[in-house]
Amino acid sequence: MTQVSEAPARKRAQIKERTLRTDPWWNRGRVVATLLTIWVLYATVRVFTGHWYFVPQYHYLTPFYSPCVSGECVPGSAAIGTWIPAIPPIIPYAFVSLPFVLGFRLSCYYYRGAYYRAFWRSPAACAVREPHASYSGETKVPLIIQNVHRYFFYAAFVIAAILTYDVAQAFRGPDGNFGIGLGSIIMLINVVAVWGYSFSCHSCRHITGGRLKHFSKHPVRYWIWTQISKLNKHHMAFAWISLATLMLTDFYIMLVASGAFSDPRLFN
Ligand code: FES
């Protein structure tokens, strides 16, 4: 009888050099770290500013303050009512949604790979030895908690629906009837990007077509799964585009709300 030899223990390649790559592999990590840091600093400042988040005349509410549920929310901005008394923005006005938005992005499969590489250099890039002595992946606390991503997806779905409501409001002019301004269009582009990011999520793909043994017995789910799979291929692009549009939308509303810029109106 032939003896089956044991598989060799998995070891890292024993080479002296950190990597044999000659291309500028470090660039990607630096760019990602810089962009994410800028975004997080900007969002943190804005979320705690407590000003210039709503344009009452055109019903523009920045996504960073949606839904606005603090007693401090200016009249017209609290679509689902105020949940806490008026206290300064030591508690963000959208405290009900921000933890879920943050959790959804932080536990996203794409962002995980991006910030593990950019900030922890674990690994720094393909075929580059990482500086850490050991590697346990996401098998231990705290990283094992990243598995809750699928639950954040459900919450993010509700939040995207609320942002959609905000966009519908942004298509009302000063007299309450239909109206379009540059802000309405920017908000619309943002919500499309946010939906694109949400629908292209790996968890969404699994929810629609995962755990099925026979696609032929579930034609509707199979069709949805094929459409989500098409979006899923572009998840990284949606991740960055939606991050950019969120920031742009907030920045634009801040300019209009503060009086620094007048919203050009196309209609009403
Ligand atoms: Fe990125 Fe779900 S995998 S949002």
- Give the tens place of pLDDT for each residue, 153-171: 999 999 999 999 999 999 9
- The span from the CA of 55 to the CA of 265, in Å, is 14
User: Is 11 part of a structural domain of the chain?
Assistant: no
153 Cβ contact partners less than 8 Å away, ≥ 6 residues apart: 104, 198, 201, 203, 204, 207
With DSSP H G I counted as helix, E B as strand and the rest as coil, what are the percentages for the chain, rounded to 5? 50, 5, 40
Percent of the chain at pLDDT exceeding 70: 95
Q: Is the CB of 203 under 6 A from ligand 1?
A: yes
What per-residue confidence (pLDDT) applies to 11? 67
Least confident of 111-115, 135-139, 242-246: 135-139
Q: Look over the chain and give the mean of its residue pLDDT values, rounded to a whole number.
A: 94
Determine the distance separating the centroid of ligand 1 and the alpha carbon of 124, expressed in angstroms.
21
99-109 mean pLDDT: 97
Q: Residue 178's domain spans which residues?
A: 26-267
**Cβ–Cβ < 8 Å for 242, 200:** no
Report residue 78: phi and psi, to 5°.
-100, 80
User: Is 3 part of a structural domain of the chain?
Assistant: no
- The span from the CA of 197 to the CA of 228, in Å, is 11
Q: Is the ipTM of this complex over 0.95?
A: yes
Q: What is the pLDDT of residues 173-209, one digit of tens each?
A: 999 999 999 999 999 999 999 999 999 999 999 999 9
Q: Whose CA is closest to atom 2 on ligand 1?
A: 201
Closest atom of ligand 1 to 149 CA is 2
Q: Is the pLDDT of residue 100 over 60?
A: yes
Q: Is the CB of 128 under 6 A from ligand 1?
A: no
User: Is 242 part of a structural domain of the chain?
Assistant: yes
**Cβ–Cβ < 8 Å for 267, 173:** yes
Q: Is the CB of 202 under 6 A from ligand 1?
A: yes
User: Is 50 part of a structural domain of the chain?
Assistant: yes
Closest atom of ligand 1 to 197 CA is 4
**Cβ–Cβ < 8 Å for 77, 65:** yes
User: Is 240 part of a structural domain of the chain?
Assistant: yes
Q: What does DSSP assign to residue 214?
A: -
Q: Is the CB of 110 under 6 A from ligand 1?
A: yes
How many domains are there within the chain?
Answer: 1
Q: Which SS3 state, helix, strand or coil, does residue 32 take? A: helix
User: Is 113 part of a structural domain of the chain?
Assistant: yes
Task: Please give the single-letter amino acid code of residue 148.
Answer: V
Residue 163's closest CA among 191, 197, 193? 191
Q: Is the pLDDT of residue 2 over 50?
A: no
User: Is 18 part of a structural domain of the chain?
Assistant: no
Q: Is the CB of 112 under 6 A from ligand 1?
A: no
Which of 138, 151, 201 to mutate for ligand 1's pocket (most ligand atoms within 8 Å of CB)? 201
41-56 mean pLDDT: 97
Closest atom of ligand 1 to 104 CA is 4
**Helices of type H across 5-70:** 26-47
Neighbours of 110 (CB within 10 A): 18
User: Is 9 part of a structural domain of the chain?
Assistant: no
121-135 mean pLDDT: 85
